[in-house]
Every structure is written in structure tokens, then in C-alpha cells.
DNA sequence: CTGTTAGCGCATTCAA
DNA sequence: TTGAATGCGCTAACAG
């Protein structure tokens, strides 16, 4: 038994050696018991007693060194600081913990360099697997990862790996279709940089709906923002100021939706009478806006759970269906921000 | 050099032994170099080369076993899934990472049992320190923690430990004072369960402001909720339906503020003409509400940073000022939800 | 400045 | 079923 002093308190930390001394059993037997092996009933009791008496806890570091498993999963994410990411992380963490894994979170703050640094950090930390929401990362970077990993939210071309994402194209299609069905013909879209996977998919959905309904696309109604609040704000104002403004707008991410709402409030635009709008993500926001906002809601809980489950599966060595591409459906929550026109 | 096969790819993972073979140097020298020690210029080059050639990475598990340091900090939090927590976590993670520590997050979902289980989980994981936003945890539970820890957001009685919180009483006082200064006399408050530290402090601030301004307190105007959306909703409706309803309401947390806004929208109450309101937390929300909501904003970035810094300090063995109590100031953001009356 | 050595705590052979 | 012995990869103490 090792004693040391911390903050003036005597600490006792015991190892299997101490258990061995206490019980007279050998290290092998103890280790076996700890890991669920069968031991003579008498010894089992002896060990149970010893473990509680000495307050024994296995040293996961030592175990990890021996087994080459740290029982931790790294999560690499562009920005922890938004509801979408948080929901996903929360569900990843929960699912993993139920399986004995802990989660190390690395937020790279949308910074390309940090993204790579933190990836290395995680690998160094000997995590057993990594869940990544990629931003700037390339297939080359990914090829350096020698442990199971799964991509979340965004796919990367030419990388054969497990990926969990939502049907962005369909999400967008459904939203635009809804607007069309409500009689809108001039529908603006505020989308993100075409280079971003989700952004380009969402634009495709818009175009696809227009095609299917034989409507002609007016390039003036397609605005490219940068997925942040300010561009949502600016682009909404641009849209309403063009010659023949849209009667409805579809905004393709959360931050830009916020920006649009602020612009709408400031300009005193009446929703849905003067403008119909469909936003993205975050049901909570949709509810406090007046009138409540129709939005495309992403299944964040499922994304998190699925990602965790796939990585757990791979960690068990089950390579079935590799590489697995999971495309989850979004949900169009219809509230009161869309007007039915003739 | 160890070779193994994963997903059909040959993996090479090298240790200092491999470096030793490659360079002809001893383990001691290599270890020293890795840890920033000085070696002969010639050897330095040799090592640099070897390390890149063999793609050497220190095994943090082995290092941790040797040094009894895992270089990870646990964060135990009631709910990861809200803006307040998120901001704090994000800043904790960032500050720690800059100091070489990683962050393991444990979300106990407001569950008393999970709170203890996850605490044990973290301790088992050999984290070097813990940052806790306590909910049900008692001073006894805390006394079992043998490593540095700091409390965040909520203090616990009779526990001498580092704590970072916000001046809740002052926050509340200032908000109520603002309402009083705007001429309001009948001011409702929607607060949380008195047992919760932050809730009772916020109520004290209300009472204190009333006392200082020689206003009499009407118990009908004090409503106790449970910090969730629904109780915010319900209690706002209760408040406006009493005989002599308030002209202003102060809501003391984020979720209840959401509930109030939804109630206000549904009932078609005109803000600020028919009712003045001050909410809590989350500036983002305040901006998208129409009219923009005056709120008490908490310095979440600072809370996270301070908590991380204190634990880093303790980890270095610096016990100066222990136990440290840090009380940060909130910020009353005045927007347009409060009417100035005669 | 460099090399040698011991051992952190555990899991895992292999014998018994 | 149990025990003894070995080593995971690294750091730290010491001797050179």
C-alpha cells in the first residue's frame, strides 16, 4: 500500500500487489478475478472483502499499457459551441460511456491548423478510435489515421470510411417543395460556401425541387453566405432588396437563420404575410420566434448514437459492411412562418 | 518495431527502443531528449531524424503509468446540452489543451445517481483533476476525491475547496434595481427551487433590492419554478393572471426565460408596453426575440477559463490562497424589453 | 552529456 | 483453478 500526502490529507492508493498481500493470493488470480474470471467461492469472498477494505481501483493506465487499449474515444469537432454539435457530442458521450468508453473532446475552432494538431494530439493520447466532423481535413490526413474512425455530418470524397450524415439534399428538397406546394414560385435560398459538403448538397436539393416542379431558377435568388450570423443578416437584406424579391426564403443553417431573423425584426418585415421563411436546426429557437418558425430539424441524437455505435462495432473488430454510409432523414417541422399563397 | 495489421493495412508503431536501435543511443538519452533535455547537437539531429523516420510518438499511457499523471482533467456537468454549459466547457477545454491537458467530459443528465457514478468513473480513469458543476453531490462525496478539484457555478456549504461562480445575488439585484429605476413597483420574479444555490442567491438579490429601495415584497409576485421551460411558461401565465398583476417580470434562468417568451407570444402580450421583462443567459436568444430582450449575461468564457486555470495551478502544486473563491460579475445587457414608466 | 538499471500496475503466458 | 514469471513503454536515479 502506497501512502502519500496531498493537500495535507493522507491518501491511500492500493494496487493488486496490496490485494495479494492482504489475501495471500497471487497476482494472476487477482487479475483474473478482476476481469471476470472464475475463482473459488472462498477466494471470491476474500477478494471482494480485500477490494472494499483497501478501496482498490484498477489503474486504467497500467491496464491500457498492457492491453494497448485506452478505452477512450476522441471526438474532433469544428466547434463545440453550438447546439448542433453539442447534441451530437452529448449522445456520443452517453452511448460510449454505457460501453465503458470515455470521450475526449477536441474543439478545433474552425481552424485548419488546429484541426490537424488536435488530430495528432488525439492519436498521441492513444485513443482507441476517433469520431470526426471534418472541415478542412483531407483524405491524405485521414489516411494517416491507423485506428478506427468515423466521419460525422460531412462526407469526404475518395475516402472509404464509415460516415454518418443526414440526407442534406432531401432535407433541402422537402423544404423547398413545401414552399412550392404552398404556392410560392420565387423562392430565395441562402446557402453556404459550395466547397462545404453540406452546403452544396443543400443547394442541390433546392435545384432538384425546382427542376421537378418545372420552375425556372433565378440566380439572383441564390445567395452564398459563410454559414455565420452576419452573412445571414446581410443576405436576407440583399434578397428583399432585389428588383423582383422572393416571396419565400429558405435558410440553410442555424447561424444564418439567426441572422435572418434579426434582419427581419429590425426591418419590421411581417412573417409570413410579407415573407415566408424556413430555417434550419434548433427547434428551441424556432419556438421562441414570433410567429414560430418552420424549420428543418436534424436528428442530432441519432447522429451521435449511430456514430458511437459504429465505432464501437469497429472496435470489436466487426468490419461488416465497411465502409458504412448512414444517411439519416431530417424532419421538416411546420410552424407558422410560411404563408399559403394562390 | 512492432508491425500489426488493421483494416488490411500494415501499421508500424515504434517505441523508444526502436529509436535506440536506430540511433545507437540509450533509452535514457532518448527519454531525456523527448522531455526537453539537452543532448549533443549531433545526437539531437540523429534523434530528430529517427523520430520522423520511424514516426515515433510517445505512448502517453506508459508515460502516465510511470509518472502517475494522465494529463487529463475530468469535467463533470449536469447537462452538456445547453448554451451555458457548452460555453464553459468549450473554454475549459481550450485552456487545458494549451497546457497539454485533455478534457474528459461527463454529462450526468441531472441524475443524482449518474452524478456519483460518473464521478467514480473519472477517478478510475486516473484523471489528474476534476472540474465539477455540482447538483446533488454532497460535501461527503467530495471528501472522497483525493485529487485537486474545483467547483463551478455552484458552491457547496461546508466544503473548503476552490470555487468559481458568478455573483448571483448581485446579478439579480442589478436587474431588479434596473426595473425599479425604470419606475416599476410591482415586479414579479420567477426563480428556481430554493435548495439550488444559484436560485436562492438570485432570490436574495431580489429581496435585497426591494429592501434597499423601501419597497414592500408581495409574496404573490414570487414564483418558484424548476428551472425548466415548462415552469417558465406556467408561472408567467400565473403571474399575469393574479389580481394585481406585475408590470415587470424578472426570470432567473435560461430555460424559464424561453418558457416565458413562448407564453408571451402565445398570449399576444405586448412587450414592453403591457409587460416589461428581463431574462437570463444567452445573448443569442435575446437578439432574435422581438423586441430584443434585456438579459443578465453570465461571463461563461471567464468561468471556464478561471476554473481551468485554478486547477492547472493546483496541479502544479501551487496551493496559494486555497481554498479560492472566485466570484465573477454578470453583465446586465439592456435591450428593449423594459418600459420606463412614471 | 550519456548509459544502465529498476520498476510504475497490470494482464498473460505457461506450469503446476 | 492457481502461481510464478515476463514485459507493455516509459521515466528517473544513479553512475560513468
Distance separating alpha carbons of residues B9 and A161, to the nearest angstrom: 14
What is the per-residue pLDDT for B8?
46
- Cell numbers that stand for A19 in this block: 490485494
Distance, Å, A303 CA → C7 C1': 45
Q: Is B1 on the interface with A (CB under 8 A)?
A: no
The highest-level CATH class for domain A2-67 is mainly alpha
Task: Assess whether A65 (CB) lies less than 7 A from strand D.
Answer: yes
* Mean of the per-residue pLDDT values of chain A: 92
- How do residues B165-223 score in pLDDT, each as one tens digit? 999 999 999 999 999 999 999 999 999 999 888 999 999 999 999 999 999 999 999 99
Distance separating alpha carbons of residues B155 and B137, to the nearest angstrom: 11
Distance separating alpha carbons of residues B232 and B223, to the nearest angstrom: 9
Q: Is A325 on the interface with B (CB under 8 A)?
A: no
Q: What share of chain A is helix, strand, coil (3-state, %, to 5)?
A: 45, 20, 35
DSSP state letters, B154-212: ---TT--SEEEEE-HHHHHHHHHHHHHHTT--SEEEEE--TTSHHHHHHHHHHHHHHHH
SS3 B304: helix
Domain ranges of chain A: 2-67, 72-167+300-328, 168-298
Query: Do A168-298 and A2-67 fall under one CATH topology?
Result: no
- Cell numbers that stand for B211 in this block: 429592501
- Predicted model pTM: 0.90
Distance separating alpha carbons of residues B311 and B320, to the nearest angstrom: 12
- How do residues A239-290 score in pLDDT, each as one tens digit? 999 999 999 999 999 999 999 999 999 999 999 999 999 999 988 889 999 9
Compute chain B's Rg from CA coordinates: 26
CB contact under 8 A, A124 and B61: no
What is the per-residue pLDDT for B81?
81
Distance, Å, B148 CA → C10 C1': 25
Can you identify the CATH homologous superfamily of domain A72-167+300-328? Response regulator (3.40.50.2300)
- How do residues B39-83 score in pLDDT, each as one tens digit? 999 999 999 999 999 999 999 999 999 999 999 999 999 988 888
Q: Is A270 on the interface with B (CB under 8 A)?
A: no
Average pLDDT over residues B272-281: 97
Can you identify the CATH homologous superfamily of domain A168-298? Response regulator (3.40.50.2300)
What is the per-residue pLDDT for A2?
52
Tell me the residue ranges of DSSP E strands in chain A: 2-6, 9-13, 72-77, 102-107, 129-132, 149-152, 162-166, 187-191, 222-224, 248-251, 276-280, 294-297, 325-328, 331-333
Instruction: Output residues with Cβ under 7 Å from nucleic strand C.
Output: A 2, 13, 15-17, 27-28, 31-32, 34-35, 56-59, 62-63, 65-67; B 24-29, 32, 37-40, 42-43, 62, 65-66, 68
Report A:98-137 residues touching B (Cβ under 8 A).
Answer: 102-107, 109, 118, 121, 123-126
Amino acid at each position: 500500500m502506497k501512502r502519500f500526502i496531498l493537500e495535507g490529507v493522507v491518501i491511500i492508493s492500493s494496487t493488486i500487489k496490496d490485494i495479494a498481500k492482504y489475501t495471500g493470493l497471487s497476482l494472476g488470480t487477482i487479475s483474473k478475478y478482476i476481469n471476470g474470471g472464475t475463482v473459488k467461492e472462498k477466494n471470491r469472498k476474500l477478494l471482494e472483502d480485500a477490494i472494499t477494505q483497501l478501496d482498490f481501483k484498477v489503474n486504467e493506465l497500467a491496464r491500457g499499457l498492457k492491453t494497448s487499449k485506452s478505452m477512450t474515444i476522441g471526438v474532433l469537432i469544428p466547434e463545440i459551441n453550438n447546439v448542433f454539435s453539442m447534441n451530437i457530442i452529448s449522445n456520443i458521450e452517453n452511448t460510449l460511456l454505457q460501453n465503458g468508453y470515455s470521450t475526449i473532446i477536441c474543439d478545433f475552432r474552425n481552424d485548419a491548423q488546429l484541426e490537424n494538431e488536435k488530430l495528432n494530439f488525439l492519436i498521441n493520447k492513444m485513443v482507441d478510435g476517433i469520431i470526426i466532423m471534418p472541415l478542412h481535413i483531407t483524405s491524405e490526413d485521414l489516411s494517416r489515421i491507423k485506428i478506427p474512425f468515423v466521419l460525422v455530418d460531412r462526407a469526404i470524397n475518395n475516402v472509404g470510411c464509415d460516415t454518418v450524415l443526414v440526407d442534406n439534399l432531401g432535407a433541402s428538397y422537402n423544404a423547398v417543395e413545401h414552399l412550392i406546394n404552398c404556392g410560392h414560385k420565387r423562392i430565395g435560398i441562402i446557402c453556404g460556401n459550395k466547397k462545404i459538403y453540406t452546403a452544396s448538397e443543400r443547394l442541390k436539393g433546392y435545384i432538384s425541387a425546382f427542376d421537378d416542379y418545372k420552375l425556372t431558377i433565378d440566380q439572383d435568388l441564390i445567395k452564398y453566405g459563410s454559414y455565420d450570423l452576419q452573412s445571414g443578416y446581410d443576405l436576407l437584406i440583399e434578397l428583399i432588396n432585389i428588383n423582383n424579391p422572393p416571396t419565400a426564403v429558405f435558410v440553410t443553417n442555424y447561424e444564418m437563420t439567426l441572422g435572418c431573423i434579426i434582419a427581419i425584426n429590425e426591418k419590421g418585415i411581417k412573417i409570413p404575410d410579407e415573407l415566408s421563411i424556413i430555417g434550419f436546426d434548433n427547434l428551441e429557437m424556432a419556438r421562441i420566434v414570433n410567429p414560430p418558425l418552420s424549420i428543418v430539424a436534424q436528428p442530432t441524437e441519432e447522429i451521435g448514437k449511430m456514430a458511437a455505435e459504429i465505432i464501437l462495432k469497429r472496435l470489436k473488430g466487426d468490419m461488416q459492411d465497411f465502409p458504412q454510409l448512414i444517411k439519416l432523414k431530417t424532419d421538416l417541422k411546420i410552424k407558422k412562418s410560411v404563408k399559403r399563397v394562390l
